[in-house]
Amino acid sequence: MTDRFMARAIQISIDNARTGRGGPFGAVIVRQGKIIAEAANSVVASNDPTAHAEILAIREACARLRQSQLRGCEIYSSCEPCPMCLGAIYWARPERVFYANMAEDAAKIGFDDSLIYGEISRSIGKRKIPMIQMMRDSAQEAFSIWAALPGKEAY
Amino acid sequence: MTDRFMARAIQISIDNARTGRGGPFGAVIVRQGKIIAEAANSVVASNDPTAHAEILAIREACARLRQSQLRGCEIYSSCEPCPMCLGAIYWARPERVFYANMAEDAAKIGFDDSLIYGEISRSIGKRKIPMIQMMRDSAQEAFSIWAALPGKEAY
């Protein structure tokens, strides 16, 4: 099965790989049969570890739609989303995600996707980056204020 | 144990909860005993589902340091990072992460962190947002180009 939207995401990934501006990844977001956002990974060029193709495309699509969710949209990514991007996808709530390369393929050329998937499944005490809890009692105040806030926009 | 950096992250979360600009979350990034970046969640104000406190603070810290990684830095977050932010943390590679509220606390006031943690651990075919693979052969070209690219910056 070939699809013009996925073909576009793949072309972006190929063009980006040639420039070295960032990893070989591209993403496209489609709504009602039209591309409303597209992006290439720009981690290297922007010194931004969050500048993955899916994150940038989600931000652009939401800015264009002026809403923080992508209901009715589809994401085409040239590679299976990493855990960061998968998290962003769940917050954005598109209808579905299409992907081409797999996380294992990315691991083979030096990207940490598979390692991070493993870390997220691990209990906090067993992760490679130490995560230490403290001051929970003080922090609860913010949650109480939010819970009681009238007219807030849930997301 | 009380810590002035965590106290700052919590204060940001409290101030943000009062305004409704975004969820009740704050984060601070520290390097050599000094705050180099801090941020509040601004999902609502910016219509950006990726504008979590940790993501914004990581982007700011990396921009300031002009590098895409945070070695030698610590992140203080008023809440256990969601999977998106945890993924960003692994890409940024700080030394350690401190957090106050837990993912379960966030779930109690309506945030999907726990749901997303569950989804990420699930096999792709069983996730709530359908994820469909296609055109892997075409997408491999970008990975081959990247693998052979001389002088590229790995991240």
Res A61 pLDDT > 90: yes
Q: How confident is the model at residue B113, as a pLDDT?
A: 87
Of the pLDDT bands very low, low, confident and very high (cuts 50, 70, 90), residue B85 is: very high
CA closest to B129 among chain A residues: A96
The distance of A38 to chain B (nearest Cα, Å) reads: 16
Rounded Cα–Cα distance for residues B69 and B16 (Å): 27
Res B152 pLDDT > 70: yes
Whether A120 sits inside 8 A of B86 (CB atoms) is yes
Q: How confident is the model at residue A153, as a pLDDT?
A: 86
| Alpha carbon separation from A31 to A5, A35, A72, B49, B114 (Å, rounded) | 11, 6, 6, 17, 28
Give the number of A-B residue pairs with CB atoms closer than 8 Å.
305
Res B1 pLDDT > 70: no
Relative to beta strand B73-79, strand A34-40 is unpaired
The distance of A94 to chain B (nearest Cα, Å) reads: 8
How much is the average pLDDT of B85-105? Answer: 97
Rounded Cα–Cα distance for residues A28 and A104 (Å): 21
User: Is the Cα dihedral A93, A97, A101, A102 positive or negative?
Assistant: positive
Question: What average pLDDT does the structure give for chain B?
Answer: 95
- Burial (CB count within 10 angstroms: exposed 0-12, middle 13-18, buried 19+), residue A142: buried
Tokens of B130: 């359908």
Phi, psi of A84 (to 5 degrees): -60, -50
The distance of A123 to chain B (nearest Cα, Å) reads: 11
Of the pLDDT bands very low, low, confident and very high (cuts 50, 70, 90), residue A1 is: low
Whether A48 sits inside 8 A of B68 (CB atoms) is yes
Look up residue A57 and give its DSSP letter.
H
Q: How confident is the model at residue B46, as a pLDDT?
A: 96
Question: What average pLDDT does the structure give for chain A?
Answer: 95
CA closest to B55 among chain A residues: A50
Neighbours of B116 (CB within 10 A): 24
Q: How confident is the model at residue A43, as a pLDDT?
A: 96
Q: How confident is the model at residue B153, as a pLDDT?
A: 86
Name which of B74, B127, B128, B138 to mutate to probe chain A: the one with the most chain A Cβ atoms within 10 A of its Cβ: B138
Q: How confident is the model at residue A154, as a pLDDT?
A: 84
For this structure, is A104 an active site residue? no
pLDDT digits (tens, 9 = 90+) for B45-68: 999 999 999 999 999 999 999 999
Of the pLDDT bands very low, low, confident and very high (cuts 50, 70, 90), residue B12 is: very high
Tokens of B131: 């994820």
Predicted complex ipTM: 0.96
pLDDT digits (tens, 9 = 90+) for B138-150: 999 999 999 999 9
Whether A134 sits inside 8 A of B3 (CB atoms) is yes
Whether B91 sits inside 8 A of A80 (CB atoms) is no
Q: How confident is the model at residue B3, as a pLDDT?
A: 94
Rounded Cα–Cα distance for residues B93 and B102 (Å): 21
Whether B129 sits inside 8 A of A23 (CB atoms) is no
- Whether B52 contacts B43, CB under 8 Å: yes
Res B42 pLDDT > 70: yes
Q: How confident is the model at residue B41, as a pLDDT?
A: 98
Q: How confident is the model at residue A113, as a pLDDT?
A: 87
CA closest to B25 among chain A residues: A142
Angle between the A53-65 and A4-19 helix axes, to the nearest 10 degrees?
120
pLDDT digits (tens, 9 = 90+) for A90-142: 999 999 999 999 999 999 999 988 889 999 989 999 999 999 999 999 999 99
The more confidently predicted of residues B1 and A41 is A41
